[in-house]
Amino acid sequence: MDAVTIPPPDQLDSLDDDSFRLVVREFLRQNYPEELRNPPHRLHWNECKDWYHKLAEKGWLCPGWPKEYGGLGLSPSKQIILTEEYERYGVARTPDHGIVMLGPLVIRYGTEEQKKRFLPKILTGEHIWCQGYSEPNAGSDLAALRTEAVLDGDHYVVNGQKIWTTLATDANWIFLLVRTDKQAKKQEGISFLLVDMKTPGITVKPIINLELHDEFCEVFFDNVRVPKENLVGQLNKGWDMAKALLGFERIFLGSPRQSAYALSRLKILAERMGVWEDETFQDRYARLRLDLEDLKALYGTFVVKLKRGESLGPDVSMLKIIQTELFQRITDTMLEISGENAGLLEPMEGNRDLNIGGLFIQARPATIYGGSNEIQRNILSKNVLGLPG
Amino acid sequence: MSAALDESDRAESIRMIRDSAAAVVPPGGDMKRVRSLRFQDPGFEAGLFRQMGEMGWIGLRVPEAHGGSGLGLSEMCALAEELGAGLVPEPLIPCALSAGLLSALGGVGPLAQLLTGEKVVLTAWQEKADSLEVPGSPDAPRRFLPMAAGADIFLLPVREGGRIALYEQPAARAQVTVERTQDGGNFGTLQPKLGDAKKLADDVGEALAQGLDEAALVTSAYLLGVMERAFAMTLDYLKTRQQFGRVIGTFQALQHRAADLKMQIALTRASVEAAAATLDAGATGDARRAAVSRAKARASEASMLVTRQAIQLHGGIGYTDEYDVGLYLRKAMVLANQYGSAALHRRRFMAVSPEVEE
């Protein structure tokens, strides 16, 4: 078989899907740093910026953006292939909120001037974005957010607090959902505001999570003055815009990859613990394995819909629930078979494939973030099953 | 002897033990002390361990003739439950195991210094994970010694002929490697060195089997305290956290989940208290093993369920290190499999328990 050659970025979208997959594999083999494969926690900017710049330099940074803005202009189908191959290779997530969220927002709702001002700086890595949505009293009930922006001359004055802001310590810009009309119904008084993190009055405080890692932050706003041209889209339409941005990417919360990775490690662990041949273990493993295979099949039916150009319905919530709970059951099983090793802080025998407690703890927030599984079940019962209430 | 106490005396004795636990478990569940000791060596306070000795806790089960308090497992379990609620890190359970052994052998070795809490004495019986077997290999590393970073003396069971002899090896010159655990404590691995050790007794086999059973039961009680407090914190949260304009405890899906957790806690308490009463009434052999395995199987599984769900029901805040509920999950991760996992105890229960005839 011929060696795979990597075509220039503007030709990637014209490859057929199978060739594209091979190109992605080759691209990763040539470019992705071996030591960053399957990192045990979310990487900080200083740990992954070389990879970010490499992607930027090769023109691969923004797969979903149209070519005219510097993206690859890939179809959803090819974006899914790209993500699958990244996941398979164990590629770390970069601080990608500019690429995945802010870029598409500005492209869809921004003014020409906002596009010129913000998009190129995402492509160069000069602007690293974080997302300010959740607040201490607005989690599952996000529309209850209270951080307010009040117009004062040419500026909005922002006061309030955001929480669970991923990698805010690494970011130099933040996009915010802010309340701009306190009288309106709660979804109807919210706007989208872009804020330079260096503006006086902003305080960032890292939160140590159960992984003992500072992935999340609190961000406090005390009379922060933001130029009014930093408002994106229409005033008080921020909620609709944020919802519209939740596009086909929702499928990724249900990607079987996390569970597949964990299951492969469960097998390694079971062999190491001497229970692999055990009949009762085999039955448990078979159950998990079948759940994974069936999840892959169900995931595939959603992928096929996207490939046909259809959009996702509320039933995509099923994928997120099934995937995250399977991931948790696999890591629960890891704890149950590993005896006292379950309590170790570091991977057993210094082997990253035997990161028992680490993976178990990593699996915990999966049922909380991205819309908790309780909220996903509400969506299923109301919007899919049509139950009243 | 404790078994002779009548029921009301017994209840009074248990109540007094629970009250005395307040000396080291701060009211209101303040975790400041527990947090300050996490991920530091030795992982506990030597001074507080001595205080436990002064209060008679290390020798709670040791007969008065050997300098102990001569109380039963019902009292010991009540105490452990209170300590579990406060996540007290001092190695009371493994040291009580050592005290039981030295007492059973007639009050030999460093028993007196252990009972006062001057010396931390750990029994180095374990050679592989998830096992209650004591092979007693002379050279095999002894694994998973709780809080070994603070040990003064190791007791070393060694097979000699058909019996298990007991040696005492000082920690000072011992080769010990220490790994940190999720709860902020540590596990040690000891490379035994019989040349440095002194023989204490020729046959410790039955005393050790009984001691391990008692340690498994007392660990179940500690886990009961862990899950009770994690559940209480969760209930408080369900009653106060507001989303969608009402407290989240009004959502029926969450009410049902809380009810399910309560039932598992109730089953654990019933199982632990029944096992303690069975042992206090003098059960030995298979009857003792069956009672203990029932309790530990339940406590291990229920404590993981309750602490996992405590995180889920708290949402994002439960995933922060700053909020205390995560400390309870981490403790359950360490103790659920100590002195036998749920699976080990289920297997052992089936092996030793006669089928119920209806």
> In whole angstroms, what is the distance from residue A114 CA to residue A239 CA?
20
B131 touches chain A (CB under 8 A): yes
Lowest mean pLDDT across A27-31, A253-257, B65-69, B114-118: A253-257
Q: Are B181 and A344 within 8 A, CB to CB? A: yes
Q: Is the pTM of this model over 0.90?
A: yes
Q: From the CA atom positions of chain A, what is the Rg in Å?
A: 22
CB contacts, 8 Å: A140 with chain B = 243-244, 315
Residue whose tokens read 């990607």 = A255
Tell me the residues of chain B between 328 and 347 that have a Cβ less than 8 Å away from chain A: 329-330, 333-338, 341-343
> In whole angstroms, what is the distance from residue A248 CA to residue A303 CA?
9
Q: Are B320 and A163 within 8 A, CB to CB? A: no
Q: Who's near B215: CB < 8 A, 6+ residues apart? A: B93, B94, B96, B97, B339
Judging by DSSP bridges, how do beta strands A190-196 and B121-123 pair with one another?
unpaired
Distance of CA A44 to the CA centre of its chain: 15
- The pLDDT of residue B1 is 43
Residue A39 is given by DSSP the state -
Phi first, then psi, for residue B252 (nearest 5°) are: -65, -35
Percentage of chain B exceeding pLDDT 90: 93
Tell me the residues of chain B between 69 and 128 that have a Cβ less than 8 Å away from chain A: 126, 128
Are the beta carbons of A82 and A112 closer than 8 angstroms?
no
> In whole angstroms, what is the distance from residue B341 CA to residue B332 CA?
12
Handedness of CA B155, B156, B161, B162 (dihedral sign): positive
- Tell me the DSSP string of A265-306: HHHHHHHHHT-TT-HHHHHHHHHHHHHHHHHHHHHHHHHHHH
Q: Are B182 and A337 within 8 A, CB to CB? A: no
Nearest to B220 by CA among B302, B278, B285, B288: B302
Phi first, then psi, for residue B244 (nearest 5°) are: 55, 35
Mean per-residue pLDDT, B119-126 = 98
Number of helices and strands (H, E) in chain A? 12, 8
Residue of A nearest to B178 (CA): A344
Query: Within 13 Å and on the Cβ side, how many CA atoms surround B329?
Result: 29
Task: Evaluate the omega torsion of the peptide bond into residue B89 and state whether it is cis, within 30 degrees of 0.
Answer: no
Q: Are B321 and A368 within 8 A, CB to CB? A: no
Nearest to B313 by CA among B235, B207, B227, B202: B235
Q: Who's near A62: CB < 8 A, 6+ residues apart? A: A69, A70, A71, A72, A99, A103, A122, A123
Q: CA B311, B317, B320 angle in degrees (round to 5)?
A: 85
Q: Testing the interface with B: which of A269, A278, A345, A354 to mutate, by most B Cβ within 10 A?
A: A345
Are the beta carbons of A160 and A135 closer than 8 angstroms?
yes
- Judged on CB neighbours under 10 Å (0-12, 13-18, 19+), A173 is buried
Q: Are B242 and A207 within 8 A, CB to CB? A: no
Nearest to B287 by CA among B220, B237, B213: B213
Instruction: Give the distance from residue A372's alpha carbon to the nearest chain B alpha carbon, in angstroms.
Output: 8
Mean per-residue pLDDT, B351-357 = 81
Confidence of residue B2 (pLDDT cuts 50, 70, 90): very low
Are the beta carbons of B68 and B99 closer than 8 angstroms?
yes
Nearest to A44 by CA among A56, A32, A36: A36
Instruction: Give the distance from residue B186's alpha carbon to the nearest chain A alpha carbon, in angstroms.
Output: 8
Q: Mean pLDDT of all residues in chain B? A: 95
Confidence of residue B26 (pLDDT cuts 50, 70, 90): confident
- Tell me the DSSP string of B310-334: HHHHHGGGGGBSSSTHHHHHHHHHH
Residue of A nearest to B240 (CA): A137
Q: Testing the interface with A: which of B187, B296, B337 to mutate, by most A Cβ within 10 A?
A: B337
> In whole angstroms, what is the distance from residue B101 CA to residue B95 CA?
10
CB contacts, 8 Å: B244 with chain A = 140-141, 144
Q: Who's near B27: CB < 8 A, 6+ residues apart? A: none
Percentage of chain B exceeding pLDDT 70: 98
CB contacts, 8 Å: B316 with chain A = 134, 139, 163-164, 365, 368-369
CB contacts, 8 Å: B254 with chain A = 374
> In whole angstroms, what is the distance from residue A242 CA to residue A108 CA?
11
A249 catalytically annotated: yes
Question: Two tokens at A358?
Answer: 């680490």
Are the beta carbons of B67 and B112 closer than 8 angstroms?
yes
Per-residue confidence in pLDDT tens, chain A, 389 aa: 567 899 999 999 999 999 999 999 999 999 999 999 988 888 999 999 999 999 999 999 999 999 999 999 998 889 989 998 999 999 999 999 999 999 999 999 999 999 999 999 999 999 999 999 999 999 889 999 999 999 999 999 999 999 999 999 999 999 999 999 999 999 999 999 999 999 999 999 999 999 999 999 999 999 999 999 999 999 999 999 998 887 777 888 899 999 999 999 999 999 999 999 999 999 999 999 999 999 999 999 999 998 888 889 999 999 999 999 999 999 999 999 999 999 999 999 999 999 999 999 999 999 999 899 999 999 999 999 999 97
Q: CA B351, B355, B358 angle in degrees (round to 5)?
A: 170
Q: Where are the alpha helices (DSSP H) in chain A?
A: 17-31, 45-58, 76-89, 97, 103-109, 112-124, 238-245, 257-273, 279-307, 317-337, 356-363, 373-379
> In whole angstroms, what is the distance from residue B25 CA to residue B222 CA?
13
Tell me: the pLDDT tens digits for B244-295?
999 999 999 999 999 999 999 999 999 999 999 999 999 999 999 999 999 9
What does the buried/exposed string (b/e) look like for A77-95 if buried means 16 or more CB atoms within 10 Å of the residue's CB?
bbbbbbbbbbbeeebbebb
Residue whose tokens read 């500072």 = A214
CB contacts, 8 Å: B326 with chain A = 210
Q: Which of A249, A271, A325, A346 is catalytic?
A: A249
Distance of CA A195 to the CA centre of its chain: 21
Nearest to B257 by CA among B292, B204, B212, B305: B305
Instruction: Give the distance from residue A229's alpha carbon to the nearest chain B alpha carbon, in angstroms.
Output: 32
Maximum Cα–Cα distance across chain B:
72
The Cα-based distances of B96 to A84, B99, B106 in angstroms read 53, 5, 15
B254 touches chain A (CB under 8 A): yes
Nearest to A322 by CA among A267, A258, A226, A273: A258
> In whole angstroms, what is the distance from residue B310 CA to residue B254 CA?
11
The Cα-based distances of A86 to A8, A83, B111, B240, B310 in angstroms read 19, 5, 60, 42, 33
